[in-house]
Amino acid sequence: MEIPFSERPGRHERHFKRKIDNPLFPRPVTEYSGDDLLEVQRLDHEEIISFLGKFKKLVQQAISLQANEESQVVLDLKAELEKLYETASRLGDQQENNKAALRDLLKVIMATVRAHAGGDAKAEMELQQEELARQQHFSMLEHDLVVDLLDTESLILKDELVAVMLSEDEPQVIAALTMLDEEQRLLLAADAVRIAEKNNLEDDENLKRRIGLIRGDV
């Protein structure tokens, strides 16, 4: 029986698929069995189960907050909710409802933080700036590649980064490139040229365009 790929894969299956028959990777997946695919899908499923347990716990903590709760308790909960949102963003399957619930909880928490600020103008301005930064960050988390690169336990190894940037869909790469400065992009482009030459693909038009994109020419 042939095992199908997931419609919405998690991080393990995403990275597994990236490497299939891709000579740009230092360790490509050239042959794999249904058991290999099932294993990465199992790992992704376990992460969903772990997430749901943490999600339930944080929801209960948010519900249990007292009106006069200590500021540090509120701030710690906010940080945990933000961290869990990042986790949800890299999971497989349908996570939109869970992410929406986390955003709603953060709104409630931020209202509590504002109340603790007591109308202080400077504190209010800082909170507005923080909210804008959070919205921008969450927007970036809509890109699978960004999420996978930001992951503290990223499956993308250092010597795989160039292959990923050369192979991933262009919108994903464009988003990821915003996290790099000019020097990092130039170094990445130089490594990309070397890998293309190593695989006799230096004249491949798609790779040439992608290298130009990484370098900032496009």
Q: Tokens 């716990």 correspond to what residue?
A: 57
DSSP state of 41: H
pTM metric for this prediction = 0.92
Spell out the residues 6+ positions from residue 87 whose beta carbon is closer than 8 angstroms to its own.
Answer: 47, 51, 54
Domain boundaries, the chain: 33-142, 150-215
- Record the tokens describing residue 190, joined without a space: 């130089």
Provide the residue-wise pLDDT of the chain in tens; the chain has 218 residues.
688 999 999 999 999 999 999 999 999 999 999 999 999 999 999 999 999 999 999 999 998 888 788 889 999 999 999 999 999 999 999 999 999 999 999 999 998 888 877 777 888 899 999 999 999 999 999 999 999 999 999 999 999 999 999 999 999 999 999 999 999 999 999 999 999 999 999 999 999 999 999 999 86
For 92-117, give the DSSP string: SS--HHHHHHHHHHHHHHHHHHHHHH
For residues 108 and 127, give the distance between their C-alpha atoms in angstroms, rounded to a whole number: 14
- Per DSSP, the three-state class of 153 is coil
pLDDT of residue 1: 63
pLDDT of residue 82: 97
